[in-house]
Structure 1
């Protein structure tokens, strides 16, 4: 085979592995290509992309730097990708913003740079700056996907002020435009729905949410209740007994916040972040990535771990955790890892960290379901978020799993009730801090004053003082939520009546 043919074959193999999302194989294929063509700018770009998805973030940044040195065709996009790694994975927001500004210096109207910059401004609480970035994207005109995404975000930052606001028409027209990708059209529907909700029109809001979910989940694998039940059984069977105690001196100690999505986990982490003894690491992929790689197939592979293996994985996790925090975090007693779906991994958590505390956030399931319907959760990762029946089934499966974890670790799996916190903040928080063996700190109730980055859909809610509007919002949607109520009641749950807070016989 001629050398050119050999290089072409290596390039083709790398592209195949990238397309298959087989990240370790893609990294290896790109490296083999670069051994033959060390000045191949596209090869370095693809290596950076593969390394990012493989979770090797510093190396990904270095690979992108090599792509720049060797004259990659779109250097602005390289800076955008480097910014995404710095912001989303390494929590270096100043460096991320500098990368985006470099991208805009090369290409002042670069759409991905403007969109990412607007998103970063939102995460950092800079509303006016975010609006400026999104408005620049609107100039791209009707039918442009990036302009449509910017409109959806602007509608959330500057929502319509009345039912006849022409912004509703703009949102509807772009959502109906076939030139716009379905995922972006879904975001336009969700933005319209949240605007109707803010104006008190539950009927129009719920219809918009349903349209958004239909667009978001079209073409994706649907929720499989049987598979969900099998997974719950598999996890319960894999961790039938409490993990054996063993000494561990990792400091600061990790605290895991998990539960249903939209159950108050972001609010809780923000509250705890205001405590001087706690550092907040945000929503991390460390445990899920570990389960998907070194502990694959999970959970079966956990049975093969001995104490040395557990300690090695715990130390690896802790190093990666601390790398995402500023140096001063090392002086804290605790650091939070807030990821709702880590509820599936509590058995693993206790294997690695026998003394760890897990905080399970709870909330009225109707408010959870409604909030999930209002958000565009990734349909590939969260097929259960598609509709009320799927959300309800997923909720019940999680209840079953958490009951098992509580039975194994009654003193370590703590419950934080969002609705109880909203009703009596100091009382609920004092109880939790006592369970964590932490002193009371009044600034925790002034969490909205923190100057930090929040990278979830609750970014703007947690920048406000505590408000009660989201607790009991389901009452405005009582009619639309009847199928969910019937499902939960059939499973034995008691749900308070909308009128008097008592359990209605019809809901028993």
Structure 2
């Protein structure tokens, strides 16, 4: 029987990057022919530039990218058009392609705007040294520029190099303070982060309070600053202050979440990915054992698992790479609930189409990880919904199920500053509790119905008994034990998640049982039962 609600049934609910991230978009020859005249006169070229800029100003990066793509050869190497293309790609969340366009722009002309794109995109990808290298080039062209300074400091702070970040920012902070001028917003934001990391909590809170009181501040900036204040208060031990700040932050742009509807959607997903229906779905011929996936709720130790594996000489992590979620969106866009599988998948009904997606993904993660990697882990946040699809794409994959006390998960998500649009349940603790319950339900379904191995890893066990749990994790991957996994925190790797400032330090246990600090605030919330040592 056909099943409706394709977007969630396929494991996705909202827009995401697509598999086209692997390759630049292509356009029809007729489009190129229609644009031939643009290369003939400067006025037509300038008109095109204005059109692209207008699309960007109107927050339409996809339309800007279309205008900047498939141009005649003379315009393909135009430095300004390449920069605008890079900017559109950056706003579309495609940093690798944005880097390629921005580098081409710089080769055509020493374009500082394109260099700023390169800093931001390398930073977004966790490429710390590349981002700093472009900061160096910008500094030579724009000595003393404060935008370069706060980008450099932000890159260093996210890499766990807090003292270096402070050394960059402090001269600018002192200069403005001594002159009686307000600290510019970019410097303020990065300086407040550094103050928190240096445990100067009272100074950080005072600065944050001053920032959120500024007029005409974007709501998303207020949201980020309030979440930072919650972090500062939490680490200071002012749990009431932390809760108050997080509550104010989560009120900004909060979307309604219906837990009962979500449960119905999970039921639809489980029904649609029953063993009987899955047997009729396409299956990839990709036999690679390299792809590994971490599934489960956010803030469940996924970043720690990623770091442990990445520390192994034959392991690597690609963070929250969303290419499989992108393929799920492409499936959803063609899914016909009135047809039986595999015909319901439209142009993706044949096995070879799934094989191509799988091999493209395998090629991309190998490229990112390097030739040494025999296992490459992806911890994208939506993986718990996609395990069935992952198993059909990669029959030899391994799945790691990260589990943590639902009370700690709910509080960490509530405090964390997630994207409300993608994860609306994070803005209320009671919603997070229901989402945890449904995540467990999905994962139990995958364990019962799939042939791929799934390993439960409890965060509490991982941090309290690393001598047992770390080797158990590595053994599951089919790799020999290596002592470097114990020293995962010594990596110079930048982790681009909310846990970036936690996984670059030695193992600690204080986050296990975090909910005890907030017992009064969550007293009326019903949580699912949980015992990691049962």
TM-score (normalised: structure 2): 0.79
Correspondence for 1:336: 377
Which SS does the other structure have where 1:336 is aligned?
A: strand
> Root-mean-square deviation (CA), in Å?
3.4
Q: Provide the residue aligned with 2:262 in structure 1.
A: 228
CA distance in 1, matches of 2:263, 2:58: 28
Cα distance in 1 between the residues matched to 2:487 and 2:237? 28
With over 3 angstroms needed to count, the CA separation of the structure-2 counterparts of 1:234 and 1:196, relative to structure 1, is same
Q: Does 1:48 align with 2:83?
A: no
Tell me the alpha carbon deviations over residues 142-198 of structure 1, each in whole angstroms, 9 at most, x when there is no partner. Answer: 37321331233123212236xxx4543333222222243332233332233222222
Displacement of 1:316 in angstroms is: 0.8
- Is there any run of 5+ residues in structure 2 with no aligned partner, and where? 1-36, 338-343
Distance 1:279 1:416 in 2: 18
Alignment of 1:317-466 (within 5 A): 317-326=361-370, 330-409=371-450, 412-466=453-507
Alignment of 1:259 with 2:301, yes or no, is: no
Q: Which residue of structure 2 aligns with residue 158 of structure 1?
A: 198
In the TM superposition, residue 21 of structure 1 has moved relative to its aligned partner by: 6.1
| 1:149 counterpart residue number | 189
Check if 1:132 corresponds to 2:132: no
Alignment match of 1:80 (pick from 100, 103, 116):
116
User: For residues 287 and 322 of structure 1, what CA distance do their matches in structure 2 show?
Assistant: 15
- State the secondary structure of the residue aligned to 2:439: helix
Whether the 8 Å contact between 2:413 and 2:426 is mirrored in structure 1 is yes
1:34 to 1:18, Cα distance in 2 relative to 1, 3 A:
farther
Which SS does the other structure have where 2:369 is aligned? coil
Alignment correspondent of 1:239: 273
Cα distance, 1:158–1:42 mapped onto 2, change above 3 Å:
same
Closer, same or farther: CA 109–258 of 1 in aligned 2, 3 Å: farther
Distance 2:58 2:323 in 1: 22
| Match among 24, 27, 36 for residue 65 of structure 2 | 27
Q: CA distance change for structure 1 residues 322 and 390 in 2, over 3 Å: closer, same or farther?
A: same
Question: By how many angstroms is 1:18 displaced?
Answer: 4.2
CA contact (8 A) 2:90 2:117 kept: no
- Name the SS for the 1:261 alignment partner: coil
The residue aligned with 2:102 is 64
- For residues 247 and 336 of structure 2, the distance between their equivalents in structure 1, rounded to whole angstroms, comes to 35
Counterpart of 1:316 in structure 2 is: 360
How far off is 1:444 after superposition? 2.0
Please say which of residues 439-448 and 419-428 is displaced more in the overlay.
439-448
Q: 1:277 to 1:157 in 2, by over 3 A?
A: same
Rounded to whole Å, the distance in 2 between the matches of 1:299 and 1:481 is 43
Q: CA deviation at 1:14?
A: 3.9
Distance, in Å, in 2 between the alignment partners of 1:104 and 1:381 is: 37
Q: CA deviation at 1:56?
A: 6.0
SS, match of residue 291 in structure 2 = strand
Contact 1:51–1:57 under 8 Å retained in 2: yes
Give how far 1:341 is off. Answer: 2.0
Q: Matches of 1:106 and 1:222 in 2, distance apart? A: 47
1:230 deviation in Å? Answer: 5.0
Gap change, CA 1:299 and 1:184, over 3 Å in 2: farther
| Partner Cα distance (1:16, 1:414) in 2 | 50
Contact 1:379/1:385 (CA < 8 Å) preserved in 2? Answer: yes
Aligned residue runs from structure 1 range 254-293, under 5 A: 254-293=291-330
1:470 aligns to what? 511
Q: Distance in 1 between matches of 2:287 and 2:333?
A: 27
Q: Which moved more, 1:171-180 or 1:288-297?
A: 288-297
CA–CA distance in structure 1, aligned partners of residues 204 and 286 of structure 2: 56
SS at match of 1:311: helix
Deviation at 1:309, TM superposition (A): 1.1
User: How many equivalent residue pairs?
Assistant: 480
> Deviation digits for residues 372-402 of structure 1, max 9, x if unmatched?
1222222233222222233223223322322
Q: Secondary structure at 1:31's aligned position in 2?
A: coil
Structure 1 distance, partners of 2:345, 2:165, is: 44
In structure 1, how many angstroms separate the alpha carbons of the residues matched to 2:100 and 2:479?
Answer: 41
Distance across 2 between alignment mates of 1:472 and 1:398: 20
Distance 1:410 1:320, change over 3 A: closer
- Which moves more between the two structures, 109-118 or 334-343? 109-118
Partner of 1:506: none
2:234 is matched with: 197
Deviation at 1:93, TM superposition (A): 3.5
| The one of 209, 220, 230 aligned to 2:246 | 209
Give me the whole-angstrom Cα distance separating, in 1, the residues matched to 2:425 and 2:192. 24
Distance in structure 2 (CA, Å) of the matches to 1:16 and 1:405: 47
* Residues 385, 391 of structure 1: 8 Å contact kept: yes
Query: Contact (CA 8 Å) 1:388, 1:483: kept in 2 or not?
Result: no
The answer for the alignment partner of 2:212 in structure 1 is 175
Of 118, 125, 128, which residue of structure 1 is paired with 2:153? 118
SS in 1 for 2:294: strand
What's the secondary structure of 1:172's corresponding residue? Answer: helix
CA distance in 1, matches of 2:494, 2:222: 27
Deviations 1:269-296 (A, max 9, x none): 1112222331222221222233334763
Deviations 1:328-383 (A, max 9, x none): xx233211112222222212211110121111111011111111122222223322
Structure with higher RCO (Cα < 8 A, 6+ apart): 2
